[in-house]
Amino acid sequence: MNGRALLAWNLRRIRVSKGLSQEKLAADAGVDRAYFAKLEREAANAGVDVLDKLARALSVELSEFFVRPPEGAAPPTTLPGGGRKRVSFLMMRR
């Protein structure tokens, strides 16, 4: 597992174990939600400053992002119900 995949794995594992949505964690850490989602999808690299912010928001040590999962471990799950309810513009006008 490369560094980007390891980070993505552990971000999701820790976030889900604490019951936090991507949106909530990103807001708590002061990081753009779309950027955070890219980190979890291995589509972006994170700098040390961003990792520090995420570690503080999750109340974990920075090293937690680089813990290797046990051989054959199942990928971290997502939170139940994922996604937020979308409200159309027409519904808002009522």
Architecture of domain 1-66: Orthogonal Bundle (1.10)
The whole model's pTM is what? 0.79
CA separation for the pair 50, 46 (Å, rounded): 6
Are 31 and 53 in contact by the 8 Å Cβ rule? The answer is: yes
For 25, 50, 56, 91, the CA distances from 15, given in Å and listed in that order, are 8, 15, 12, 32
Band of residue 1 on the pLDDT scale cut at 50, 70, 90? confident
Residues 57-69 pLDDT 10s: 999 999 999 999 9
Residue 30: phi, psi to the nearest 5? 75, 35
Residues 3-54 pLDDT 10s: 999 999 999 999 999 999 999 999 999 999 999 999 999 999 999 999 999 9
- The closest of 77, 50, 85 to 65, measured between CA atoms, is 50
